[in-house]
A and B are shown apart, each in its own frame.
Chain A
Amino acid sequence: MYVTLKSAARTNGERMILGILIVCSLVAVLTTAGIVFSLLFETLQFFQTVPFFDFIFGLHWSPQTAIREDQVGASGSFGVIPLLVGTGLISLIAMLIAGPVGLLSAIYLAEYASGRARAVIKPLLEILAGIPTVVYGFFAALTVGPIFRNGGDAIGLSVSSESALAAGLVMGVMIIPIVSSLSDDVISAVPRSLREGSLGLGSTKSEMVKQVVLPAAIPGIVGSLLLGTSRAIGETMIVVMASGLAANLTANPLQSVTTITVQIVTLLTGDQEFDSPKTLSAFALGMLLFTITLCLNVIALRVVHKFREKYD
């Protein structure tokens, strides 16, 4: 019995294919590199005109007026704090809806729903995730916003038609399936032996869930909340269509605020020269957004990963 040598044609061909495969997988790395470098490049250019600390700590966002008289070539004030506050306010409202509703739905689906009910409810919740954000934006701007404004008028409160409440509420509904789906997975991953241990001692189901299952699933649930928050912060269309353009430094959800993503869109649509501070500021905002969401995502993924390690 003898073994023939591999044909040269096949090995060469295969080496080429392997090369193609490697190039393809590098595209993903190159994309991240591309994002970081292009954002960084424009952002550094921006900081040549507007000082870093004015940007990060400035309380005034108005790309049309100067902060100081001696700003060279600048045409606006670029303090990002109002944007951070606006983004934070709307995201907070969104998570106040998505967090509890998502978690409670996950608990119901994982612990109480029958197999058939679960098979129907879970896909329906996924539909919420599949609806394009522009549709949510339309709904928020044309239905929810006016309802809040009219309702406010009826009870004597002054509610903006572009209130943070309306945008946050609709965004929260959009995020429910993110929290619910991931929480459902982590709750179901808690081993059966723990549940049986609790039931065997004579606990009710709710005691088992509240005192044994949920504490065991906390890291995963926290991860799902972080991912939901990251999604809220990065969301664009709902806020572009349903919240305001003027930077408003306030914590009142009935007023209109603007967010980082809205400003990026506003600054870059319409006529612009490419190197003006206005345009560059959009990239600086993009860099800021990318950094914040990256941190949240990394922490979230790591937390969920650690949790999975414990139980798989």
Chain B
Amino acid sequence: MTDIPNKTPTTGVQGSNSALRNAKRRQRAERRFRFYGFAGVVFALGCLAILLTSLTARGVTAITHSKIQLEILFDETVIDPNGTRDEDEMSRADYQGLVKSALRELFPDANSRRDKKALYKLVSSQAGLSLRDMVLQDPSIIGEKRAIWLIAGDDVDVFRKQTSANTGSLKKKQVSWVRDLEAEGLIENQFNSQFFLSGDSREPEMAGILGAVMGSFLTLLVCFVASFPVGVLAAVYLEEFAPKNKISHIIEVNINNLAAVPSIVFGLLGLALLLNVFGLPRSAPVVGGLVLALMTLPTIIIATRAALKAVPPSIREAAYGLGASPMQVTFHHVVPLSMPGILTGSIIGMSQALGETAPLLLIGMVAFIVDIPTSFVDPATTLPVQIFIWADSPERGFMEKTAAAILVLLAFLLCMNLLAVILRKKFERKY
């Protein structure tokens, strides 16, 4: 439509040539603008992709770890010199010595003190513990010689997993020993059950996330039990019963502000109140759970209110019309109908709580805890705090474990959010 002359020219109107240029300029501006918006999306999603691939690359190797097969002689003179088969005595024996003997047998050329030290580093310094557990479980193996797979030292594991030609912190002699073991099939990558079944440890090769996972579970349980009923009931009151006056307005503003308070402030509150005034045990899931509950409360209240609001007035009116009291209308009709929305919001709140770290640092859940917690008052740590602790460690072996723990955490979060989405889709009602 470019050739139609302008029928009513007035002063200042441009001729058709510059109008054409102007039109082209505007089209270019349009395309540029759209591109900028698209570039923004690409940048954000690109960062997400980089983050996830980097974590996966670092962490996925943790699913296996190196194990060395040694011929262990369950020497009675070491394990049970008095022949009493007394459990206490047997558990104090030098099982690591058995490991060292087996290593010396395999590599007799290691003679100097330094060489022997290097040799012993091939196997985890805690490997003796698994031998001890075997003996205590079945003392009849004393005196036998068996081929046992033992966890390799973390330096060996790191060395075998890396792709570059770097020897890492292994000495040349250690590298040649590892190569010999490989040639004879005495060192293998096996499934790393240690990671999933044991608690934290000073040695990277022995460290596992079970303690942290249990800690997270207990803490979240406390958080849920404390925040869900209180949050839902508070929301029910504010939405259904509270008179619309200044006080309820203040409460509402309060809740909205609380939702945006930095999480570390809740940690300070927990420290000042729960630990110092109420004297609750430090590092316990009970305290962590209560602090997280205070943080999650606003989220649950806001989500519940939205779900309650979505129930149409016609349902309430029908119930009133039948003579139901306000309590009955609320609890027999409105709340059940808004349950899917409430649960979805709560699950999302819980998943936010699962990933929280800062407040838990302040209430002491950052200690080094080896035992798996079994009650709400045992000292514990949570998965994100465990990640934080490991990330600080200088040993290279921990880097892989940290990334792997992150992947486990993300997997949990993914499951929770998928559950929330599925719930929402399944029970979505269009009124």
Contact = CB atoms under 8 A, between A and B. Distances in A.
Contact of A265 (B238, B257, B362): B362
Interface in B253-269: 253-258, 260-266, 268-269
A121 B358 contact: no
A206 B265 CA distance: 43
Nearest to A204: B30
B175 interface: no
Contacts of A42: 272
Contacts of A294: 257, 261
A112 interface: yes
Given A125-B44, A132-B413, A173-B44, A210 B33 contact: yes
Interface stretch (B100-108, B149-157, B294-302): B294-302
A293 B261 contact: yes
A290 interface: yes
Interface string A286-298: 1001100110011
Given A104-B40, A269-B362, A236 B257 contact: no
Nearest to B277: A38
Contacts of B92: none
A2 interface: no
A249 B339 CA distance: 52
B431 interface: no
Nearest to A177: B44
B273 interface: yes
B138 to A, nearest CB: 42
A298 B269 CA distance: 21
A34 B44 contact: no
Nearest to B263: A236
Interface stretch (A17-25, A51-59, A63-71, A77-85): A17-25
A289 B265 contact: yes
Contacts of B297: 27-28, 31
By DSSP majority rule, is chain A's interface helix, strand, loop, or mixed?
Answer: helix
B54 A143 contact: yes
A40 B214 CA distance: 35
B327 A101 contact: no
Contacts of A264: 264, 268, 362
B257 A34 contact: no
Interface stretch (B10-18, B158-166, B179-187, B383-391): B383-391
A301 interface: yes
Interface residues of A, number: 88
Interface stretch (B45-53, B62-70, B140-148, B306-314): B45-53
A135 B30 contact: no
A78 to B, nearest CB: 17
Contacts of A14: 325, 327
A290 B265 contact: yes
A157 interface: no
Contacts of A104: 36-37, 39-41
Interface string A142-183: 110000000000000000000000000000010011001000
Interface string A194-238: 000000000011110110000000000000000100110111110
A245 interface: no
Contacts of B233: 20-21, 24-25
Contacts of B242: 25
B427 interface: no
Given A21-B234, A25-B251, A301-B256, A108 B34 contact: yes
Given A135-B406, A237-B388, A261 B255 contact: no
Interface centre among B30, B44, B250 (most CB of A within 10 A): B44
B264 A298 contact: no
Nearest to A127: B48
Interface string A73-115: 0000000000000000000000000001111110111011100
Contacts of B231: 24
A177 B40 CA distance: 11
B27 interface: yes
A32 B258 contact: yes
Contacts of B361: 265, 268-269
B218 to A, nearest CB: 18
B26 A135 contact: no
Interface string B233-247: 111111001100000
A185 B273 CA distance: 38
A132 B356 contact: yes
Contacts of B34: 108, 112, 205-206
Contacts of B413: 130-132
Contact of A109 (B41, B250, B251): B41
Interface in A249-291: 261, 264-265, 268-269, 274, 282-283, 286, 289-290
B344 interface: no
Contacts of B256: 301
B55 interface: yes
A35 B265 contact: yes
Contact of B272 (A135, A139, A283): A283
A139 B51 contact: yes
A133 interface: yes
Contacts of B44: 101-102, 105, 125, 128, 173, 176-177, 180
Interface in B361-393: 361-362, 366, 384-385, 387-388, 391-392
Nearest to A121: B41
25 contacts: A101-B40, A104-B39, A105-B41, A105-B44, A108-B37, A108-B38, A130-B351, A130-B413, A135-B51, A135-B387, A135-B409, A136-B51, A139-B51, A139-B54, A234-B261, A234-B262, A236-B262, A261-B262, A264-B268, A269-B366, A274-B276, A289-B262, A290-B262, A293-B261, A293-B262
Interface of A: 6, 10, 14, 17-18, 20-22, 24-29, 31-32, 34-35, 38-39, 41-42, 100-105, 107-109, 111-113, 121, 124-125, 127-128, 130-139, 141-143, 173, 176-177, 180, 204-207, 209-210, 227, 230-231, 233-237, 240-241, 261, 264-265, 268-269, 274, 282-283, 286, 289-290, 293-294, 297-298, 301
Given A29-B254, A31-B297, A235-B262, 17 more contacts: A24-B237, A25-B233, A25-B237, A28-B255, A35-B265, A38-B269, A39-B268, A108-B37, A134-B391, A138-B55, A231-B260, A233-B262, A234-B261, A234-B263, A237-B388, A240-B388, A274-B276
